[in-house]
Amino acid sequence: MRTAAVDSVVLSFPLRIVADDPYYGYYFIPAFVDHNDAYPDQLLDYYCGKRTYDMSSGYNHEGTDYCTWPLAWKRMAHDEVEVVAAASGVIVGKDDGYYDKNCTRSGDWNAVYIQHSDDSQAWYGHLKNGSLTQKSIGDSVTEGEYLGVVGSSGNSTGPHLHFEIHDSSGKVVDPYYGECNTTTDRSWWKDQPPYYESCINKVILTSNIPDIPDCPEDETTILDDKSQFAPGERIYISVFYRDILTDQTTDFTVQKPDGTTYFTWQFNSEEPYPAVFFYWYIDTPSDADNGRWLLQLTFNGQTYEHEFNMSPTLTPCPECSGSPVELTNVTFESGRNCECSDSASITIGTDVTIKSGATVTFKAPTVKLQSYFHAENGSTVNIKQQ
């Protein structure tokens, strides 16, 4: 085991979120440094687990990956998760100008390289094209200073930061202290987080069945969080977990505006996941009380709250029934996010109107458009073959 110098650098967290939408967490860790030099599929992380990877080429993962979760592509598009300097230092390298929406391992990455006062280096890779700091090689940066935006450039399958530390001799150092980390005898973090950080990152309510779109599609076409619903409408509740463990329990309660309980249920995870989402739905009564409703979730000792409103003036999404589906004489009203899906086909027939401000997704192997279909300016129509 190699001992780090007493005056070695200490690190703060290399990400920050700048989005103003409600969230509880915004990342998860799929891969730490691999401490098993054998390959392939010979894995060992600092905690003596297998949360890392290697490749048949002989590459063993040499950094920590922080993936934005959920809404990774949406967050990238809007510059919502920034990469910041984990420690003060001098810029010794920059790579920029490379494609940043990779879904497979290919191409060069965009990155910033910082050398610290102890001559160790931190590599910040897979950044968004054109987002890198305007500072030049040789300029100093301070701890917490902006370096770029999380992206998916280089050998990447989705937006994430690859954070890699090298000591003064160029050897890889895993900054997480643990029994199976032979690169250091201390944590390099100011405050090392636990291996498992079981929490809920985000709760999203929709009128449509939630799904994760194909890479690199922006998730908001399917996972657009809603706060307004009509009485009698079905509400889909998507919960995005980080580090959920086997048999961990989530308690759900839906409260009406007067504070009384409308519905409760409980969920127990059958398997552990570094990141996963599950969804449920509730059917609201046609005479649902108007006003503010409250969804409460209790998980791992923490309570999360998500508000939504019932409005009688809000027209529900038109019903898509039958197989194949044939729509005629229906209107998708402004403010609605609706989905119509079928395993056979959908025919959008006569007198179908999509109002400005409405979002409608049609999902079927075949979607047919007929005359007198009208989508107003400001509406969004998504047609997806499945």
For residue 266, what are its two tokens? 């409980």
For residue 124, what are its two tokens? 């910040």
Q: Give the chain's end-to-end CA distance (angstroms, integer).
A: 53
Can you give the pLDDT at residue 196?
98
- Nearby residues of 6 by Cβ (< 8 Å), 6 or more positions away: none
Indicate the pairing of strand 352-354 with strand 373-375: parallel
Indicate the pairing of strand 121-125 with strand 111-115: antiparallel
Indicate the pairing of strand 15-17 with strand 111-115: unpaired
For residue 308, what are its two tokens? 């939504």
Phi-psi label, residue 300: left if phi above 0, alpha if psi -120 to 50, beta otherwise: left
Indicate the pairing of strand 330-332 with strand 291-299: unpaired
For residue 271, what are its two tokens? 């398997």
Can you give the pLDDT at residue 343?
80
Q: In whole angstroms, how far apart are CA 39 and each of 4, 13, 48, 104?
A: 27, 30, 16, 21
Residue type, 35: H
Per-residue pLDDT of the chain (386 residues; tens, 9 = 90+): 344 444 579 999 999 999 877 779 999 999 999 999 999 999 999 999 999 999 999 999 999 999 999 999 999 999 999 999 999 999 999 999 999 999 998 899 999 999 999 999 999 999 999 999 999 999 999 999 999 999 999 999 999 999 999 999 999 999 999 999 999 999 999 999 999 999 999 999 998 889 888 899 988 777 888 888 999 999 999 999 999 999 999 999 999 999 999 999 999 999 999 999 999 999 999 999 999 999 999 999 999 999 999 987 767 788 887 788 989 888 988 877 788 888 889 998 888 999 887 888 888 889 988 767 888 988 888 888 76
Distance from chain centroid for Cα 276: 10
- Nearby residues of 257 by Cβ (< 8 Å), 6 or more positions away: 289, 290, 291, 292, 293, 310
- Give phi and psi for 73, each to the nearest 5: -75, -35
Instruction: Give the separation between CA 14 and CA 82, rounded to whole angstroms.
Output: 8
Q: CB-based burial of residue 369 (10 Å sphere; 0-12 exposed, 13-18 middle, 19+ buried)? A: middle
Instruction: Give the separation between CA 111 and CA 130, rounded to whole angstroms.
Output: 11
Quick check: helix, strand or coil at residue 73? helix
pTM: 0.83
Nearest 5°: the CA angle 121, 122, 128 is: 140
H-only helix segments in the chain = 72-77
Instruction: Give the separation between CA 60 and CA 38, rounded to whole angstroms.
Output: 8
Cis before 312 (ω within 30) = no
Of the CA atoms within 13 Å of residue 257, those in its CB half-sphere come to 9
- Give phi and psi for 72, each to the nearest 5: -60, -45
Can you give the pLDDT at residue 56?
96
Instruction: Give the separation between CA 29 and CA 27, rounded to whole angstroms.
Output: 7
Instruction: Give the separation between CA 152 and CA 144, rounded to whole angstroms.
Output: 22
- Nearby residues of 92 by Cβ (< 8 Å), 6 or more positions away: 113, 114, 115, 121, 137
Can you give the pLDDT at residue 167?
96
Ordered structural domains, the chain, with CATH: 1-195 (2.70.70.10), 199-310 (2.60.40.1930), 325-384 (no CATH)
Instruction: Give the separation between CA 170 and CA 9, rounded to whole angstroms.
Output: 15
